[in-house]
Amino acid sequence: MMKAFKFRLDPTTNQISELNQHIGSCRFVYNWALDQKIKTYEQTGKSISRFDLNKLIPVLKLSNEWLGNVNSQSLQGMTKQVESAFTRFFREKNGFPKFKSKKNPIQSFPVPQHYNIDFENCTVKLPKIGEIKAVLHKKFEGELKTATVSRSCTGKYYISILAEDGKEPPEKQSFDETTTLGIDVGIKDFAVLSNEEKIENPKYLKNSLQRLKCLQKRVSKKQKGSNNRTKARLQLSKIHEKISNQRDNFQHQISSKLIRENQAIALETLNVKGMVKNQHLAQSISDAGWSSFVTKLEYKAEWYGKTVLRIGRFEPSSKLCSVCGYYNSNLTLKDREWFCPDCKTKHDRDVNAAINIKKFSLIDQNLIGIHWSSVKEFSCL
Ligand SMILES: [Zn+2]
């Protein structure tokens, strides 16, 4: 099984400039490769392959000698990134690949192989750079796969390592109605569960978000190009980083707990992009970082032999009574609670949706039958 580990690096001043050189050169090669792809297509109507791009890198080095100071495998890693950007574009219709900007908050470069970790001396050895001190807080074994070195917006350096431990993932455990948990994305809460539990966003996160808003205002009030604006920007970057760490920790806690306590987790496939366009939901959805939470659930499920079930996003999970199947076409986003006129159940909107998500996913698995009375109404939706 592949596992990912992330460690903080503590480079010397010299190493910082070498790391930055790698970052800059890789960005340069990425943009060059993207440009080659576009131009080749415009001129010939054909696509240039990664293999051909890699063959051109030595030519590129002739006119840009400084590229020679950088690990060639890192440079070649960028043609792979361009290629996967195109694959995603064609497969997910996810926006045409963009050029990388110096201004992106997180800058990184790949180290495909030939690096080492020394747990005893707490160092990571990178090609062309050498041994860098690192905070190796977690020991692991396994075959080292690709690593990525990144620089955060506040100038901290990290290495993320993928390692294959050679073990088969555990066999999937069976699940049924009592051991499956449905989760709905909350609007007010972070998530609402089919067991009626609601998971709130933690208070510290809310406080940080408040502070973020305040700092954003402060930046916009300072004069462009002024020292004060730069200072305010740095503060803003710091709070951004803090929020993303806090959110990450929170999501790790929740996802581990949910995976531990249930055999299967049922989710709705969300069109997060579509939802973010809707101003009303924008704040809550993007704050919740739903997709990174789902990613954590999915890989943890894999590690522990649990299952993540998904239902399509067009299934009417909010409007259907989870008890009798009555379809409430009048339900609006504002209605937090509703009464089913058929079976007289009082519903919490989100809990009802979470229960339906669980039911739909189990119907998909043929684990429960449809026993709702208004099946006809449901099937013509
Ligand atoms: Zn009902």
Residue 234 confidence (pLDDT)? 86
Residue 235 confidence (pLDDT)? 86
Active site residue 52: no
Residue 348 confidence (pLDDT)? 94
- Please state the pTM of the whole predicted model: 0.75
Active site residue 342: no
DSSP string, 76-113: HHHHHHHHHHHHHHHHH---------TT-S-EEEEE-S
Residues with Cβ within 8 Å of residue 226, at least 6 apart in sequence: none
Which of 83, 184, 200, 287 is an active site residue? 184
Active site residue 350: yes
Which of 18, 83, 268, 315 is an active site residue? 268
340 CA to centre of ligand 1 in angstroms: 5
- What is the spatial distance between Cα 59 and Cα 48, in angstroms, rounded to a whole number? 16
338 CA to centre of ligand 1 in angstroms: 10
pLDDT in tens, the chain (381 residues): 888 899 999 999 999 999 999 999 999 999 999 999 999 999 999 889 999 999 999 999 999 999 999 999 999 999 999 999 998 888 776 678 999 998 888 899 999 999 999 999 999 999 999 999 999 998 999 999 999 999 998 899 999 999 999 989 899 999 999 999 999 876 678 899 999 999 988 888 788 888 888 888 888 888 888 888 888 888 888 888 888 888 889 999 999 999 999 999 999 876 655 555 555 555 555 555 777 898 899 999 999 999 999 887 667 788 899 999 899 988 887 888 999 999 999 999 999 999 999 999 998 787 776 554 444 344 433
159 CA to centre of ligand 1 in angstroms: 53
Residue 376 confidence (pLDDT)? 37
User: What letter represents residue 306's amino acid?
Assistant: K
335 CA to centre of ligand 1 in angstroms: 16
Residue 217 confidence (pLDDT)? 87
250 CA to centre of ligand 1 in angstroms: 35
327 CA to centre of ligand 1 in angstroms: 8
Which of 18, 83, 315, 350 is an active site residue? 350
376 CA to centre of ligand 1 in angstroms: 15
Do the beta carbons of residue 60 and residue 67 sit within 8 Å? yes
Signed CA dihedral, 101, 292, 90, 52: sign only: positive
Residue 118: which H helix or E strand, with range?
strand 116-118
Alpha carbon distance, N-terminus to C-terminus of the chain:
41
